[in-house]
Structures are given as C-alpha cells and as structure tokens.
Amino acid sequence: MEKIYWESIEVNHQKFFFTVTSKGLNFVSSPGRYLSEIFEFYPNNRYNYQFMYDEKVTNIYLDELTEYFNKKRKSFDLPLDLANIGTDLQHQVWDAIQKIPYGDTVTYKQLAENVGKPKAIRAVASAVAKNPILIVVPCHRVIRASGELGDYRGGKDIKKELLDFEKQPAAKQTLIKKLPLPRLSQLGRPDL
C-alpha cells in the first residue's frame, strides 16, 4: 500500500487539497472539491493508497503554493510524481504547459505546435483537461484561439480569477514606516 500525504490550502474561501507521494506532488484538487477527486485521475489506486497527514512531508509544497498565492513566487521548484498516470502525449503536454511564463497564455493550437503535434489540437486539449496537478502545472494559461477562456476543471470563474491574479502587479509595500508620535511626557527631552 502506497502512502499518500495530503494537505489543503484555502484561497479566497476556496479550499484546494493536494497530495504528495515519496517522489513528489501528484495531485491538486479543483477548488471546493473533496480529496476523493484524486480517484478521477487514479481510479485503479482507490484501495492502494493509505492517506496520511504529516506536515513535515507536505510543508515544502504548502510553502510554495502559499508563496504563489502571496505573489512571492512565479514558478514552482517542486518535484512532481506523474509516473503512474498519463500517456506519452499527456506528459509532453504537461511538460510544455509548465514552460508557459507566469501571466502569459497560449492557445491550444500553439500548445499543439509546441509539442510537435500541430494537427492534434483535440488530443492536446484532452491532455490539458486530464492534468492532475492544477496551478503547479498551470493549465489555466491555455485558452482558445478565439480568446475565449475555454473549459477548466476548476470552473471558468476560477480560471479567469487565476489569469487576472497573475496579471496584477504585486502590492507594493511602503519602504518608510510612519513613526509614532511622541507622548506629551517625552516632549522637551533632548534625546527625543
């Protein structure tokens, strides 16, 4: 039985679950869905997984996701475990998706060309839809040639929110902090 470590992160009142194996991140859920969504991607492993909660294992993954949502990270350095899922084409598509720069988008047609399958747009779109690792493998950055967003496992509203989020500049922090006013008892002191 394989141990799967789970954790969750809440963003704008939407909870995302994610799971980690001994090799790396293998699943990020749709927002608002349960952890059991993993079995839509790993149906044969329903009785082969032992779900565990261990912050020591999941913290580095949680930290990077938190940094992303706090606009302190634009790409992920996390190890991924996609060994027990997907076809060769799906792996090529998922690798190509990870190369789409933060804040940019590509069309399904461009993505098909990027993986060397310019006529296999539908197969490429299907591979995008079967991505088990939302956000880290940023399939939300793939849109239709018409400029429409297209479908997204997390829902079109979440896809739009993610794209808008990535296009917004990070909030600037003031370099000069406002000093507190002195108390009346401190007025007239030479060391003030």
Active-site residue flag, 59: no
| Cα 2 to Cα 45: distance, rounded to the nearest angstrom | 9
CA distance 175 to 95: 39
**Per-position b or e across 156-168, b if 16+ CB within 10 A of its CB:** eebbebbbeebee
> How many whole angstroms separate alpha carbon 95 and alpha carbon 45?
24
- End-to-end alpha carbon distance in the chain: 68
Please give the helix or strand (H or E) that residue 16 lies within, else none. strand 14-20
Residue in 25, 139, 158, 162 annotated catalytic:
139
User: Catalytic residue positions?
Assistant: 139
